[in-house]
Structure 1
Amino acid sequence: MGVRYGSANEKMRDALARVAPGTPLRDGIDRVVRAQAGALLVLDDGPDVLSICSGGFLVDAPYSPQRLSELAKMDGAIIISLDGGRIARANVHLVPDPTVPTSETGTRHRTAERVARSLGVPVVSASEEMGVINVYAGGGKRQLQEVGRLLERANQALQTLERYKIRLDDAIANLTAVEVEDVATLRDVAAVVQRGEMVHRIADEIETMIVELGVDARLLRLQLDELYGEIDDELELVVTDYVADDHTAAQTLAEMSSLTDDEIHDLRLSANALHRIAESTDLGQSVAPRGLRLLNRTGRLDAESAAAIAQHFNGLSKLQRATIDELTAVAGIDAATAADVRETLARVTESAILDQYN
C-alpha cells in the first residue's frame, strides 16, 4: 500500500518499529517497567550523541534484554547503537541544549525530548513510578500503549475508515457521472480531493498503530490493505485530470497533507490546491477533465500511451467522441488498443449514467 507520509512521521514509525512488541528492545524495556525502574535510552551512538554525554562508563557489549534491565538500575542514560545490536555506554549524564523547548515536566522525560529534538535521534523514556513509556522522534512524542487497548483503538479506526471510504467512493462515482455528461463542477472535484485526504489521514494513523503493534498486527495489516487498496493511485489520477499545467499531482497532495484538521473541511482550500484557476471560491464553475483517470481503466493501455491520448484530444468530451481512426492517429496506438479505449469509455459512460439514475 502506498500510503503518503512525511519524513517526521517516517522517523517516528522507524522508532516505533524498533520498540514494537516482539523486538528484543521492547523485551528489555518491558523488563525495566516490570521491575518498577526508570530508563532513558538514546537509540543512536553517533558523534553528536556522544558529544553531549558526560560521565558514565563504556560498555560496548552486545545488546540483550537482561543486560539492559540490569544497567537500567543505575540512574543515568543508556546509549544503544543505531542498529540496536550493542549497548555503547551506560549511566551517562546527558547535557542537551537547554534552550530547546519541551512540554515535559519530569527530568527524565524533559531530557529525552530535548535530546530527540536537538539531535534528531530517537529517544525512549520509561518513568519509574507510572511505568509510562514515551518515544520521541521526528519532533513528536508517542506514548506506548498496552497491546489490547491499542488493538481496540485500531479496530475502531478501521470502522471509521470504512465509513469514510464509502463517502469517498460515492464522491468518485458522482464525479465520474458528471464527467461523462460534461457537467462537472469545481465542487465535484474538490469533494473527491477533500474526502481522499480524510481517508488518507485515517489510514495513516492506522498504519502507525500497525507499526507500533509489531507482531500483533498481522490481521490489521490485511484489513487495512483490503480497505485502502489503491486509493492513493485513484486520487492521484483525479488530481492529474484537473491540476494546473504548471503544477503536479504530488504538489497538490502535499498541500492537502499540510492542511490542519479544521482546514480540511473547507472545500475552497481543496479547490485552491489544484491551482487550476485564478479564482477558486466559485465552486459551481464548470471544469473539464483531461480524461486520464478513465483512460487508466483500459487494460491494454500503459501510462505513457494514456498521457499521449489525453494530450492529443485535450479533454474527455472530445475523447468520448473520438473514432477508432482518430485514436490510431496518436503515436503508438494500434487499432486493437483504440477499440479497447472506445469500448472502455462506452462502458464507463453507460455504467455511470445507470448508477446516477438508479
Structure 2
Amino acid sequence: MDHKELAERIRVVAPGTQLRFALDKIVAANTGALIFLVDDFEKYKDLMQVGFFLNCPFNPNKLYELSKMDGAIVVDESLNKIIAANVQLTPDPSIPSLQTGMRHRTAERMARQTGKMLLAISKRQGTITIFFGENSHVLAPVEILLPRVNQVIRTVEQYRQTFAYGLDQIDVLERASVLTLYDVLKTLEKGLMVLLISKEAELTLVELGKFGLPSRMQLDEITDGIPEEIENLVLDFAKEQVTIDKIEELMEKLLSLTEREISNYVTLARVLGYDISSSSQAMELNMRSRGIRFVRKIPKIPLQVALNVGAKYGSLARLLKTSVEELKEVEGVGEKRARAIRHAIDIHNKREELE
C-alpha cells in the first residue's frame, strides 16, 4: 500500500474523529475489540455469523459499550451506522497469517479475503492495528509521534536554510562568472530534500490527527515557495530550455526521486539533460542562467512570457543590458511589462553597485 492510500485509512481513525474517541475508550477499558468496516453488509454476510443485528445510527459511546460483548462489531464504512454486534467472522482459514492472537489472525485473513478495513484492538497490549487488503499498520501513541514530527521539522528547517543560501550563492557565483553545474545541483538537492522529508512526514501528521495541526502549519510555512524555486532552477539551468508543456513532466520526475537518487548528482544532472558520468564533470561545466528566475519574480509576469524572455536573451547577463524597446520585441511583452522588467533590472543593478 502506498503512503497516500494508507493515509486515507489512518485518517478514518485519527485523533479527533468519533471513531478514534471510541477506540481510545476501548483501549482504556482494556476490553479489546474487532471492528469490521463494510460498504455493503450483504456482500459479506456469508463470512459472518451475526449475534445481534442492530442497524442503528453510529455513536462512539454505543460502539464502546458493544465492544464489551464477544465477537466483532460490523460498522458501515461511512460511519453512519452500526450494523451488527456479537458477530463471529469466518474467513477462509487457509489464508496465511503472520499474526499470533486469534483476534488479529481473524482480522488479517478477513482483510485479505474481502479487501476491506478491519480494526483490531489488543486487550493485552492496548494497541490499535489497521488491516486493509494485504497490509497492516499499528497506530503509534501520540507521545511517540510528536517528538518524531518535531525532529522532522528541525531537519526540514535546516535544509530550507541551506537551500536559501544556495540560491544566494548561485547569484553571487554567476556574477563572478564562476558558477558551475555542480553548484546548481548542490542547491537543487537541498530543495528536493525539503519536499521529500516533508512528504514522508505526511503519514505521521495524518496519524496525529488534531494533535498534528500545529506541526502541519509549521511544515507548510517552511515549504512555502520551494516547488516554485525548484521549477525556476530547472527552467534556468536545464541543458535545453524547457517548454511550458514539458515543465510539469520534468517536475514530476524530479519530485518522484528517492533520497538516494537526489543525493546522486549524476542522476540529477541527467534529469536536467546533461550527459555526465561523475560529479567532477559537473564541476567543470560553467553555467549561466537564462534569466527566467529573475523575470518570474516580477509581479504579474506569466510563465510563458518569462520563457519567451529567456529564449530571446539566453542569459541573465544579456537581459540586464537590455532596453524597454528591445523587451517589447519579445512575444507577450508590451509597454507595461517591458517597463516593469526594466525597473526590476534597474533595482538589481543599483543593488549590485551598493554591494
Q: Same fold (TM over 0.5)?
A: yes
C-alpha distance in 1 between matches for 2:301 and 2:137 = 45
Question: Which runs of 5 or more structure 2 residues have no equivalent in the other structure?
Answer: none
* Residues 106 and 60 (structure 1), Cα distance of their counterparts in 2 relative to 1, 3 Å cut: same
31-40 vs 283-292, which moves further: 283-292
Match among 263, 275, 278 for residue 278 of structure 1: 275
* Residues 278 and 156 (structure 1), Cα distance of their counterparts in 2 relative to 1, 3 Å cut: closer
Name the structure, 1 or 2, with higher relative contact order (CA <8 Å, separation 6+): 1
Partner of 2:323: 323
State the Cα distance separating 1:354 from its structure 2 match. 7.9
C-alpha distance in 2 between matches for 1:191 and 1:97 = 54
For this pair of structures, how many residues does the alignment match?
347
Q: Map of 1:47-86 to 2, 5 A cutoff?
A: 50=44, 53-56=47-50, 58-74=53-69, 76-86=71-81
Deviation string for 1:259-278 (max 9, x for gaps)? Answer: 4444432222222332x123
Query: In the alignment, is residue 196 of structure 1 matched against residue 191 of structure 2?
Result: yes
Query: In the alignment, is residue 9 of structure 1 matched against residue 3 of structure 2?
Result: yes
| Counterpart amino acid of residue 27 in structure 1 | F
Match among 149, 155, 168 for residue 160 of structure 1: 155
C-alpha distance in 2 between matches for 1:96 and 1:292 = 61
C-alpha distance in 1 between matches for 2:8 and 2:22 = 18
Partner of 1:265: 263
* Residues 103 and 272 (structure 1), Cα distance of their counterparts in 2 relative to 1, 3 Å cut: farther
Identical pairs, percent? 29
* Residues 87 and 22 (structure 1), Cα distance of their counterparts in 2 relative to 1, 3 Å cut: same
Q: Map of 1:1-358 to 2, 5 A cutoff?
A: 8-46=2-40, 50=44, 53-56=47-50, 58-74=53-69, 76-90=71-85, 91-93=87-89, 95=91, 104-109=99-104, 112=107, 121-136=116-131, 141-180=136-175, 183-243=178-238, 245=242, 248-274=246-272, 276-279=273-276, 281=278, 282-284=281-283, 285-348=285-348
* Residues 130 and 311 (structure 1), Cα distance of their counterparts in 2 relative to 1, 3 Å cut: same
104-113 vs 220-229, which moves further: 104-113
State the Cα distance separating 1:115 from its structure 2 match. 5.7
Where 1:321 maps in the other structure, the secondary structure is: coil
Structure with greater Cα Rg: 2
* Residues 159 and 327 (structure 1), Cα distance of their counterparts in 2 relative to 1, 3 Å cut: same
Q: Does the 8 Å contact 1:77/1:94 carry over to 2?
A: no
C-alpha distance in 1 between matches for 2:217 and 2:326 = 44
Deviation string for 1:149-202 (max 9, x for gaps)? Answer: 322322232222211211111122222333455543221222222212211122
* Residues 112 and 349 (structure 1), Cα distance of their counterparts in 2 relative to 1, 3 Å cut: farther
C-alpha distance in 1 between matches for 2:117 and 2:320 = 54
C-alpha distance in 2 between matches for 1:26 and 1:110 = 22
* Residues 248 and 18 (structure 1), Cα distance of their counterparts in 2 relative to 1, 3 Å cut: same
Where 1:283 maps in the other structure, the secondary structure is: helix
C-alpha distance in 1 between matches for 2:297 and 2:39 = 50
Q: Does the 8 Å contact 1:52/1:95 carry over to 2?
A: no
C-alpha distance in 2 between matches for 1:94 and 1:181 = 74
Deviation string for 1:282-317 (max 9, x for gaps)? Answer: 222234444322211101312332233223334434
TM-score by length of 2: 0.81
C-alpha distance in 2 between matches for 1:87 and 1:168 = 51
Partner of 1:4: none
* Residues 306 and 252 (structure 1), Cα distance of their counterparts in 2 relative to 1, 3 Å cut: closer
C-alpha distance in 1 between matches for 2:307 and 2:36 = 49
* Residues 258 and 333 (structure 1), Cα distance of their counterparts in 2 relative to 1, 3 Å cut: closer
Q: Does the 8 Å contact 1:185/1:286 carry over to 2?
A: yes
TM-score by length of 1: 0.80
Q: Does the 8 Å contact 1:108/1:125 carry over to 2?
A: yes
| Counterpart amino acid of residue 143 in structure 1 | V
* Residues 138 and 214 (structure 1), Cα distance of their counterparts in 2 relative to 1, 3 Å cut: farther
Where 1:298 maps in the other structure, the secondary structure is: coil
| Counterpart amino acid of residue 49 in structure 2 | G
State the Cα distance separating 1:28 from its structure 2 match. 1.0
Alpha carbon RMSD of aligned pairs, Å?
Answer: 3.5
* Residues 339 and 22 (structure 1), Cα distance of their counterparts in 2 relative to 1, 3 Å cut: same
